[in-house]
């Protein structure tokens, strides 16, 4: 969806300062908000805990967006109300403005923070973190941000009430926050789970990747029992997080909206990213 210089913008999708690539001043000691530098960030149990924590963030983003109507006009091209905005929708303008600002603040130097737009400014501040233990040269190889963006917007009729309530600015603000939270979860799982699993069985994963056997890679990555546990946990969390809200002023969402999005979008896109990571992963000499 979106811009014009870069094929419009959001339809493009990939990096920041020609992201995926780390800025030259990024030095050692990977922190990126995951806790102590000494933490083993490739420990699968710790990765799973991080992914589980992101579930609550995503649920809250869904709940926040559901407080506003779908507001279809906010997604109509040429109907933004911005003077000189051309054919872009209000959503496209809001997303582009957010990602430009985030790029300047260094957000996309963090591996799992993958933007939707392709052409973004370079970071204007030094981001002090160590290069993570990942074996790809461009983090955007796993990027599923464009798909996430489209899938979330397509979900709005199920998440939000009709008719229009006129709160277009708030609606697109919460859209962007939700899309960024989902992207963080998908790309963290794509990068770090793939690398951790590769290190547990390097010969098997290397052989499948060398043969470009995507189906085998998916089979090796899939843990049906883990996915089932995630789905069951999500349903409980959605209900728990809304158990004491005042329904006179707050809209409550059904667990199925979040559960279906995880099952049909987040989990499959994470696995797609994992496969792309493994196919692009540098081979040891």
For position 137, which CATH number holds?
A: 1.10.590.10
Residue 10: its pLDDT value, please? 41
The answer to whether residue 39 sits within a structural domain is: no
Residues 6+ apart with CB under 8 A from 19: 103, 108, 109, 114, 115, 120, 138, 139, 140
Residue 122: its pLDDT value, please? 95
The answer to whether residue 157 sits within a structural domain is: yes
Residue 131: its pLDDT value, please? 81
The answer to whether residue 20 sits within a structural domain is: no
Residue 253: its pLDDT value, please? 98
The answer to whether residue 135 sits within a structural domain is: yes
What's the farthest any 2 CA atoms get from each other in the chain? 63
* 35 Rama class: left (phi>0) / alpha (psi -120 to 50) / beta: left
pTM, rounded to two decimals: 0.87
Tens digit of pLDDT per residue, the chain (285 long)? 444 444 343 433 333 334 444 333 233 233 444 444 435 889 999 999 999 999 999 999 999 999 999 999 999 999 999 988 889 999 999 999 999 999 999 999 999 999 999 999 999 998 888 889 999 999 999 999 999 999 999 999 999 998 899 999 999 999 999 999 999 999 999 999 999 999 999 999 999 999 999 999 999 999 999 999 999 999 999 999 999 999 999 999 999 999 999 999 999 999 999 999 999 998 864
The answer to whether residue 28 sits within a structural domain is: no
The answer to whether residue 11 sits within a structural domain is: no
DSSP string, 176-199: HHHHHHHHHHHHHIIIIIHHHHHH
Q: Residue 233's domain spans which residues?
A: 44-280
Give me the number of domains the chain comprises: 1
Please tell me the chain's helix, strand, coil percentages from 3-state DSSP, rounded to the nearest 5.
55, 0, 45
Q: 272, 144 in Cβ contact below 8 A?
A: yes
Q: 109, 131 in Cβ contact below 8 A?
A: no
d(CA 131, CA 117): 23
Residue 143: its pLDDT value, please? 98
Residue 199: its pLDDT value, please? 96
Task: Write down the residue that tokens 């392709």 correspond to.
Answer: 118
Report the number of secondary-structure helices (H) and strands (E) in the chain.
10, 0
The answer to whether residue 37 sits within a structural domain is: no
The answer to whether residue 152 sits within a structural domain is: yes
């Amino acid at each position: 969806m979106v811009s014009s210089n870069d094929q419009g913008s959001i339809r493009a999708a990939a990096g920041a300062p020609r992201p995926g690539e780390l800025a030259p001043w990024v030095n050692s000691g990977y922190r990126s908000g995951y806790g102590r530098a000494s933490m083993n960030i490739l420990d699968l149990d710790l990765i799973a805990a991080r992914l589980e924590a992101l579930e609550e963030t995503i649920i809250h983003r869904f709940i926040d967006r559901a407080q506003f109507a779908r507001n279809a006009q906010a997604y109509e091209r040429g109907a933004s109300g911005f003077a000189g905005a051309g054919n872009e929708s209000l959503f496209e303008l809001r997303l582009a403005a957010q990602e430009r600002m985030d790029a300047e603040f260094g957000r996309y130097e963090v591996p799992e923070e993958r933007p939707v737009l392709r052409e973004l400014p370079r970071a204007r501040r030094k981001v002090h973190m160590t290069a993570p233990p990942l074996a790809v040269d461009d983090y955007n190889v796993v990027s599923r941000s464009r798909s996430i963006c489209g899938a979330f917007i397509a979900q709005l009729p199920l998440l939000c009430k009709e008719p229009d309530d006129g709160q277009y600015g708030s609606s697109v603000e919460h859209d962007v926050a939700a899309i960024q939270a989902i992207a963080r979860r998908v790309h963290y799982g794509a990068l770090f789970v793939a690398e951790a699993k590769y290190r547990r069985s390097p010969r098997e994963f290397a052989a499948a990747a060398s043969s470009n056997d995507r189906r085998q890679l998916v089979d090796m990555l899939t843990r049906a029992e883990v996915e089932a546990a995630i789905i069951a946990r999500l349903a409980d969390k959605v209900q728990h997080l809304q158990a004491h809200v005042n329904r006179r002023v707050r809209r409550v969402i059904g667990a199925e909206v979040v559960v279906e999005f995880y099952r049909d979008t987040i989990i499959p896109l994470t696995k797609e990213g994992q496969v792309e990571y493994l196919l692009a992963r540098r081979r040891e000499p």
